[in-house]
Amino acid sequence: MRNSILFILFACLSLHISAQDADAINWLSWEEAAAKMETEPKNMFIDMYTDWCGWCKKMDSSTFKDPAVIKYLNDNYYAVKFDAEQKKPITYQGFEFKFVQKGRRGYHQLAHSMLNGRMGYPAFVYFNQDMERIMISPGFKKVDQILGELEFAKEDKYKTMDLEEFLKTRA
């Protein structure tokens, strides 16, 4: 009897954890996503943020809480949360990217490279399965805007049309 109760309790806890996982984006670190790309290539979505960015926090509390956004990202992308001012060095493709102190804050070289030096937040970087950058998308995004971008990149529409043209076909 005692074992049956423990089993039922464990099963309920497992179901609860699984349900929670479906309620949130499966955010990875850059290193985790890069490692997964080597064995199981998938498009990559990078949320470039900073701790002090108000619009980044707004994205986290609104757009990134939307069930359709969560599902689309989790199903089709490796989603990466990247602090553009992180101090930890990252080695990628044989090069070590470091934090650069500049002014009051500074920036991480990998963020600088991915954003072509345009250090505004939030910004989103899309990579295809070959780790080729598809696009950089700066600024706060509402649900419909981010879903349009995610579909544009995932469906390889960038190869035949620009984003604005694609978004008109979705309306």
pLDDT in tens, 111-166: 999 999 999 999 999 999 999 999 999 999 999 999 999 999 999 999 999 999 99
Kindly indicate the confidence band of residue 20, based on its pLDDT and cuts at 50, 70 and 90.
Answer: very low
Token duo for residue 65: 């809480």
Predicted local distance difference test score (pLDDT) of residue 9: 41
Domain boundaries defined on the chain: 25-170
Predicted local distance difference test score (pLDDT) of residue 166: 93
Pick the CATH number of 25-170 from 3.40.190.80, 3.40.190.10, 3.20.20.60, 3.40.30.10: 3.40.30.10
C-alpha distance from residue 67 to each of 13, 21, 23, 70, 161 (Å) = 22, 11, 7, 5, 28
Query: Using one digit for the tens of pLDDT, what is the confidence trace for 35-89?
Result: 999 999 999 999 999 999 999 999 999 999 999 999 999 999 999 999 999 999 9
C-alpha distance from residue 57 to each of 47, 49, 98 (Å) = 11, 9, 25
Query: Using one digit for the tens of pLDDT, what is the confidence trace for 77-125?
Result: 999 999 999 999 999 888 999 999 988 889 999 999 999 999 999 999 9
Share of the chain above pLDDT 70, in %: 87
Q: Identify any residues that bridge with 100 across adjacent strands, giving them in sequence order.
A: 107
pTM of the model: 0.84
